[in-house]
């Protein structure tokens, strides 16, 4: 017997506002935590060294609110949440009364000034280490890198890679999951040499090496997809079109099996998703099996934006599916092994960032790969939505990246000040303020150009 059901769908603007609110919250948490940690490093070491801190600000621009402690330090939250700063008592910035000269930054020994500047980036790394350590303590699962299919006439196909093979190593580095595979491929972006991939079939105990010739490797500079550009499509198991969880839709119930959509037979979850995505804001006829009854339900599909101008259908349901044990890795360790794995993860991320920066400088990697605040905004929201472990990993990566970026010897960043202190320690006198001001202006221009390029990249990713 067939039953007909029809209920009004939720207003799609409510969903849009929920997504926007979630992204805003995640972005503010990210910026507040990462920038706050960085500036706290400067702040606490300055205090320990007996240097007066005039202001601790999270954000730039107009003050939103503030308070002042007994030592005269103003704690401020400012309007533009794209950074922050600690303002120290310093004769090079403004006159200092005689009774406070001993509290001025410029009057402290060079090693203390260096410690204050280094403390910000180093605390970012310490925070990233703590976050990754916590991830490995809590535990998480990752999917083994098994090839689903190989694109014909691609680099991977020419090299001989096959469906169902597991990628066990790239350039001698073990790859237990897809994240490690992507990292190792990113290391080779811009290279014209070959990359060595070791892969094996399920019944094989020893993998076979495959040489992938990268001479004609073409990768999307704006949205790099290393796997697809090489011709590798990850394995995706059969997922039945059965509702396992509903996020915000009440017409479908957990356990419902989707048989057809608009008279088109649905054989698996992938086909269901394809139908939903291709019909944003449209009413579709669902044929479902609920217990022992067959029903037809008219459902208004919602939407979500995948770029500034493009949207796709969204229903708010998840499948009843769990990866088979043979396809997943369990990552959970006791305290010391977790710390070791966390430290290794930071080393890999730091090395990868340095390699990519070097490739940008020599032109092997396009500046179109830079990500700006809009990308961080959307990525933070997505990571927040996926749960605690994913968001912790995102925070750790951003913190380590901010720490490394601030150590670059670009005038205006912490790294340039470290260079000044090293020169001062060698020649016995500070670098002249005239030179520092000229360098600062140049550095400010470089940082501005980087930010402009990153924002342009963000906008292009949204509109394309």
Residues 170-193: tens digit of each pLDDT: 998 999 999 999 999 989 888 888
Residue 32 in this model has a pLDDT that exceeds 80: yes
Judged on CB neighbours under 10 Å (0-12, 13-18, 19+), 452 is: exposed
Residue located via tokens 């205090």: 47
Residues 123 and 18 in one domain: yes
Residues 90 and 39 in one domain: no
CATH code, domain with 242: 2.30.42.10
**CA 444 to chain centroid:** 25
Active site residues: 39
Residues 462 and 347 in one domain: yes
Lowest mean pLDDT among 69-73, 218-222, 228-232, 235-239: 218-222
Quick check: is 449 in a domain?
yes
**Two tokens at 40?**
């706290």
In the chain, the number of structural domains is: 4
The domain of 223 spans 141-237+323-330
Residues 96 and 207 in one domain: no
Q: What is the pLDDT of residue 121?
A: 95
**Cβ atoms of residues 169 and 208 within 8 Å:** no
What distance in Å separates the CA atoms of residue 293 and residue 278, rounded to the nearest whole number? 28
Q: What is the pLDDT of residue 3?
A: 37
Residues 33 and 75 in one domain: no
Q: What is the pLDDT of residue 7?
A: 42
Residue 344 in this model has a pLDDT that exceeds 90: yes
**What three-state secondary structure class fits 168?**
strand
H-helix or E-strand spanning residue 433:
helix 433-463
Cα separations in angstroms, 230 against 146, 161, 178, 266, 343:
15, 11, 14, 31, 30
What distance in Å separates the CA atoms of residue 392 and residue 408, rounded to the nearest whole number? 25
Residue 6 in this model has a pLDDT that exceeds 50: no
Which residues have CB under 8 Å from 336's CB, separation 6+? Answer: none
């Amino acid at each position: 017997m067939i039953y007909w059901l029809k209920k009004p769908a939720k207003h799609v603007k409510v969903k849009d506002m929920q997504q926007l609110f979630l992204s805003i919250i995640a972005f503010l948490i990210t910026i507040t935590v990462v920038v706050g940690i960085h500036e706290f490093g400067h702040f606490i070491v300055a205090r320990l060294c007996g240097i007066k801190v005039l202001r601790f600000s999270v954000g730039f621009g107009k003050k939103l609110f503030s308070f002042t402690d007994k030592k005269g330090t103003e704690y401020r939250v400012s309007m533009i949440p794209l950074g922050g700063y600690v303002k120290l008592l310093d004769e090079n910035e403004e006159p200092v009364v005689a009774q406070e000269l001993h509290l001025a930054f410029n009057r402290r020994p060079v090693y203390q000034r260096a410690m204050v500047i280094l403390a910000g980036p180093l605390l970012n790394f310490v925070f990233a280490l703590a976050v990754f350590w916590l991830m490995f303590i809590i535990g998480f699962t990752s999917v083994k890198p098994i090839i689903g299919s190989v694109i014909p006439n691609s680099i991977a196909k020419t090299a001989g890679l096959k469906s169902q093979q597991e990628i066990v190593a790239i350039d001698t580095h073990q790859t237990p999951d897809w994240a490690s595979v992507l990292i190792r491929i990113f290391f080779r972006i811009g290279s014209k040499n070959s990359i060595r991939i070791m892969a094996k079939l399920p019944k094989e105990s020893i993998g076979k090496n495959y040489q992938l010739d990268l001479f004609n490797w073409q990768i999307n500079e704006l949205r790099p997809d290393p796997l697809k550009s090489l011709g590798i499509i990850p394995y995706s198991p059969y997922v039945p079109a059965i509702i396992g969880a509903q996020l915000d839709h009440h017409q479908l119930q957990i356990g419902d099996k989707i048989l057809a959509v608009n008279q088109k037979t649905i054989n698996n979850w992938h086909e269901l998703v394809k139908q939903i995505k291709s019909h944003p804001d449209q009413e579709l006829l669902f044929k479902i099996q609920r217990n022992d009854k067959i029903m037809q339900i008219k459902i208004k599909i919602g939407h979500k934006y995948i770029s500034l101008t493009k949207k796709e259908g969204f229903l708010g349901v998840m499948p009843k599916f769990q990866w088979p044990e043979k396809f997943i890795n369990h990552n959970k360790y006791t305290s010391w092994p977790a710390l070791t794995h966390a430290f290794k993860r930071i080393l890999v991320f730091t090395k990868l960032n340095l390699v990519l920066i070097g490739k940008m400088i020599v032109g092997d990697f396009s500046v179109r790969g830079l990500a700006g605040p809009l990308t961080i905004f959307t990525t933070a929201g997505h990571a927040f939505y996926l749960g605690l472990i994913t968001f912790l990993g995102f925070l750790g990566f951003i913190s380590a990246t901010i720490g490394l970026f601030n150590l670059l010897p670009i005038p205006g960043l912490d790294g340039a000040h470290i260079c000044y202190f090293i020169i001062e320690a060698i020649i016995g006198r500070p670098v002249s303020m005239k030179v520092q001001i000229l360098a600062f202006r140049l550095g400010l221009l470089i940082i501005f150009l980087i930010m402009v390029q990153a924002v342009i990249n963000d906008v292009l990713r949204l509109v394309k």
